[in-house]
Amino acid sequence: MVILGIALALLSAICWGAGGVVFKLGLRNVSEYSGNLIRSSFAVLFLLPLVLVNGIEPLNLKLVLLLIFSTIFSFFIGDLLYFNALRNSPVSYALPLASTYPVFVAVMDNLLYGYAVTANVIAASLLTLLAVIALPKEGGKFTLKSLTALFASLSWAISIVTLDYLTDHLSPVTLAFLRLLLNSAMLYAMVRRFEVDRNTLVYMGLLGGLISVTGILSFVTSVSLIGSNMVSPISATSPVIGAMVGKVFLKEKLTLRHGIAMALVFTSVIVLSLQPR
């Protein structure tokens, strides 16, 4: 169970890592609002066949309110802040700041559920952050706009801690579908001018939608198996894993800093796998 949960968390990290590059390409000519709406709408369409086959579990008022709360802080506020950071600052600054959410999750899990903030979780979170920082930096300067990625991280953490409760009552498919559907509805109500072009449809819609569905389903399922306090440090390795995958597919030379970053990620996963349940 723990091994499967860790494997799914790593899969979500690969999706988020690849998503950082894909989303940045898709946001070249549109606002983060239009990009988020297109991504969410396509993801809903991709999930629809699974929902039609498996159905949706019964909902009560508490679950509905928690779903709305979770959606607002994840796909709406969190992703909009993240997309804004990607549009207005270098990825090498936005990703490390966006990868700090395991620290916030660990503190919130302790306050809400009584999960112990163990040495394993703290060490894994710090190793993950060091791994992201160790990646070679691209061009560009740090600006105050880069800090929106930090606020995105905090917003994601607030949403993530709700998943420990939601996954006890709803399946990963139901959770992913309803949250993305709610996000699409909120964005549709807000977007006054809908921007779209071929580039956006390909990167934010087709690729972004598929990446989001895979990443969200694997992330939510891993939370249901091992808990958000263990999943968060692993999924936050996405910038490192994404960079490594990109290098391999583009057949580019791997540097010493890439090796150090990957070694830190590997150590982080090992440390977390030794976490007592």
For the four alpha carbons of 8, 14, 19 and 20, in that order, the dihedral sign comes to positive
What is the C-alpha separation between 87 and 89, in angstroms, rounded? 6
182 and 68 in contact (C-beta within 8 Å)? yes
Residue ranges covered by each domain of the chain: 1-25+32-274
pTM of the full structure: 0.83
What is the C-alpha separation between 145 and 86, in angstroms, rounded? 10
pLDDT string in tens for the chain (277-residue length): 788 998 999 899 889 888 877 887 888 888 888 889 999 999 999 999 999 999 999 999 999 999 999 999 998 899 889 888 877 777 667 777 887 888 889 889 888 888 877 788 888 888 888 887 787 766 556 566 678 888 999 999 999 999 999 999 999 999 999 999 999 999 888 877 777 888 889 999 999 999 999 999 999 999 999 888 888 888 888 878 767 766 666 566 777 887 888 788 878 878 877 766 5
3-class DSSP state of 28: coil
Q: Residue 144 is encoded by which pair of tokens?
A: 């105050």
Q: Which residues lie below 8 Å from residue 126, measured CB to CB, with a gap of 6+? A: none
What is the C-alpha separation between 203 and 210, in angstroms, rounded? 10
For the chain, give the longest Cα–Cα distance: 53
pLDDT at 252: 62
